[in-house]
Amino acid sequence: MSSYESSAFSNWYVEECCDWEGVMCDPSHTRIQRIFFPHLRSASEPWFPNATLFAEFKDLQELELPGNHIGGFISIHGNFPDSLCANLFLKELILSRNNLFGSINSCLGNMVSLRLLDLSENQFNGSFPSLLISNLTNIESLVLSSNEFQGMISLCVFANLSRLSELDISFNHLEVETEMMSPSCSPSFRLSTLSLGGCNVKKIYPWMFHNITSELCLSDNNLTGPFISNFQNITSKLTILDISDNFLRGTLPEDINLNFSELRHLDLSGNSFNGNLPMFFSDQLQMLDLSNNQFQGEIPYSIKSNMSCLLYLGLSRNNLTGDLFPKNSSLPNLRWLHLNNNRLSGTFPYALSKSMKLRIIDIQNNELSGELSSYLPVLPKLSILILGGNQFEGQLPVKICQMRDLHLLDLSENDLSGDIPDCVDNVTSWLGRSENVVGYLPDGSRNGIVFTNKGRRYTYKAVVLSALMGIDVSCNRLTGKIPIQMTRLKGIQILNVSNNLLTGQIPSSLVNLENLESLDLSHNNFFGVLPHELVGLLYLEVFNVSFNNLSGMIPIRNQFGTFLSDSYLGNPDLCGHPLQIKCNGSTETPPIYARAEK
């Protein structure tokens, strides 16, 4: 075997090829059977490997190159070369999450040994290769999602693939006909997994619940009407059902668990379902997302108490009322709780003290009240606590300081009072020392976290959340000074204490918040000069100290040369650019001595 030191596989240089990185051989250590290179190439440069290299391995059965930014192959046919198709023994081909484009080479139809083909998350285009795929008689898993294929196809084209277990063609530009009554369709067409997200599917057929044995995903389609009214007597073995972001309406059966007794994951979010929530779900459910609907009434007791497997509960943006959870509730494995934008009342549910694995609590914009410090438990794994837009009162809970891995804290728009606790620097993550990555929204969740940043409300999804840290205690009645301990929080990017009754001078040590991108101190009672040291906040994009009692010269270096006059309104004794009020004396005058000249 010749050396490939000069190729993209620069570590393939030792004489014994079975010792190469990413290579697995047969037990006799003489034949290469698997090449596995996942996510090893830099995103900054596309990769164009020589496809003829793989053709030399005549016994190769598995070729896996996902997430390597492959822009094409060095071959006469470019993106899907003949040299790949020539391997008659290849059983698994995974080229997902690359930059491949163009149409699929017709030689694909010759790869009759293929059992798994994954070309997802590329830019393949043209007509869907139905004829080629129909020749892959041994195919078991076919994943072509998130490409640019076009046209109208029927599921009948897959009906003769007797070994097919997993089919995912979601999120292309396809219109998929799901009726299986045509004579050309096999009546025994069965799959473990069917994913048709974003495929312009217009109807759910009963065969889907009978013939799909594990996972059915029909999200982002054009499904309309009642969900299950035409086939009430269905008993399905599905473990995952996702029909989110459609146009389904009506009520759900109270005993939906009788239809879907084995569900682990149920996502009906983003529809127009109404009425009360079902009384009973499968007690094996791990993820339940009914957010963005029109459900009303109280959260059934069975959800609060009899679902010990539940990891994720999403009921946001409905019309739910009543208390959150009674004291005898128990959700011991709950990790994600999204109940925002309802009309839920009562105090913070102390029953959550039994949910010690919680990572996210988002119950903003409800009608919760009471002394927060009396009910908030210490949750050691909590990373995101969003309680804004309620009616909580009393002191800021000191218990927050004991939740050392907090990343995002939003207590805005409540009726909290008193000082900011001086123990905030006990939160390790805010000090920039957290070893955990949030990444806490589970796979398949479309819910994000709404958080105010740079003066606007943004919805953050899982990837961004993993790197976001901030504190928002705006719109309360907090008093006292900014504690010196708060100026030690080098990890935070967002600090919003606006619309309170805070006083004292703005501490120059805020410059220690070296990652700060948004700082809002507006509508308080701060006085004195703006510390010149703040020009050291080199990442600061938004700065607001309007409507305080500040005086002297505005710093102008670095980021401070970009802020507009809105940042300083309502401080009549401030002077200098960008205000129209000139300072008395030269620009070299130290700010503490500058006097406003009108």
Same domain, yes or no, for 246 and 337?
A: yes
Do 202 and 236 sit in the same domain of this protein?
no
CA distances from 595 to 337, 550, 553, 590 (A): 53, 12, 8, 10
Give the three-class secondary structure for 374. Answer: helix
Q: pLDDT at position 56, please?
A: 76
**Residue ending a domain, choose from 310, 340, 355:** 355
**Coil, strand or helix at 236:** strand
List, for residues 308-325, the tens digit of each pLDDT value: 899 999 999 999 999 988
Shared domain check, 342 and 299? yes
Give the residue from 323, 355, 387 where a domain finishes: 355
Query: Domain with 271 in it: what CATH number?
Result: 3.80.10.10
Cis peptide before 421 (omega within 30 of 0): no
By DSSP bridging, strand 287-289 and strand 265-267 are parallel
Domain range enclosing 49: 38-98
Could you tell me if 238 and 260 lie in one domain?
A: yes
472: in domain:
no
Residue 519 φ/ψ, nearest 5 degrees: -130, 115
| Domain match, 211 and 228 both | no
- Cβ atoms of 51 and 79 within 8 Å: the answer is no
Do 229 and 340 fall into the same domain?
Answer: yes
Instruction: Identify whether 17 is part of a domain.
Output: no
Q: Are residues 49 and 73 in the same domain?
A: yes
Same domain membership, residue 265 and residue 212: no
Please count the other Cβ atoms lying within 10 Å of the Cβ belonging to residue 223. Answer: 18
Contact 101, 124 (CB under 8 A): yes
Whole-number pLDDT of residue 386: 97
Q: What pLDDT does residue 11 have?
A: 58
89 lies in the same domain as 156: no
- Other CB atoms within 10 A of residue 309 CB: 15
Query: What one-letter code names the amino acid at 480?
Result: G
Instruction: Pick the last residue of a domain from 160, 192, 222.
Output: 222
Q: Looking at residue 597, what is its pLDDT?
A: 35
Q: Do 142 and 88 fall into the same domain?
A: no
- Whether residue 284 is contained in a domain is answered as yes
Please choose, from the candidates 405, 366, 415, 401, the residue with its C-alpha nearest in 3D space to the C-alpha of residue 386.
366
Structural domain contains residue 428: no
Residue 384 DSSP one-character state: E
157 within domain boundaries: yes
- Beta bridge pairs of residue 574: 552
CB 405: neighbour CB atoms within 10 A? 19
Tally: H helices and E strands in the chain: 8, 43
pLDDT for the residue numbered 5: 32
Question: Which residues, listed in sequence order, are joined to residue 403 by a DSSP beta bridge?
Answer: none
Number of domains in the chain: 3
In the 3-class helix/strand/coil scheme, how is 398-461 assigned residue by residue? Answer: HHHHHCCCCCEEECCCCEEEECCCCCHHHCHHHHCCCCCCCCCCCCCCCCCEEEEECCEEEEEC
pLDDT of residue 21: 76
For the segment 270-319, what is each residue's pLDDT rounded down to a tens digit?
A: 999 999 999 888 889 999 999 999 999 999 988 877 788 999 999 999 99
Neighbours of 414 (CB within 10 A): 25
Distance CA 321, CA 165 (A): 43
Q: Is residue 12 domain-resident?
A: no
Same-domain check for residues 252 and 345: yes
Residue 208 parent element (H or E): helix 206-211
Asked, for residue 142, whether it belongs to a domain, the answer is: yes
* Amino acid code (one letter) for 52: T
Asked if 297 and 345 sit in the same domain, the reply is yes
User: What H or E segment, with its residue span, contains residue 496?
Assistant: strand 494-496
Residues in contact with 281: Cβ distance below 8 Å, sequence separation at least 6, in sequence order? 256, 257, 263, 266, 288, 302, 303, 307
Residue ranges in the chain whose pLDDT is less than 70: 1-15, 42-44, 75-79, 181-184, 186-188, 229-232, 433-446, 463, 585-598
So what's the pLDDT on residue 71? 82
Predicted pLDDT at 586: 45
Q: Is residue 328 part of a domain?
A: yes
- pLDDT for the residue numbered 596: 37
Cα distance between residue 586 and residue 372, in whole Å: 51
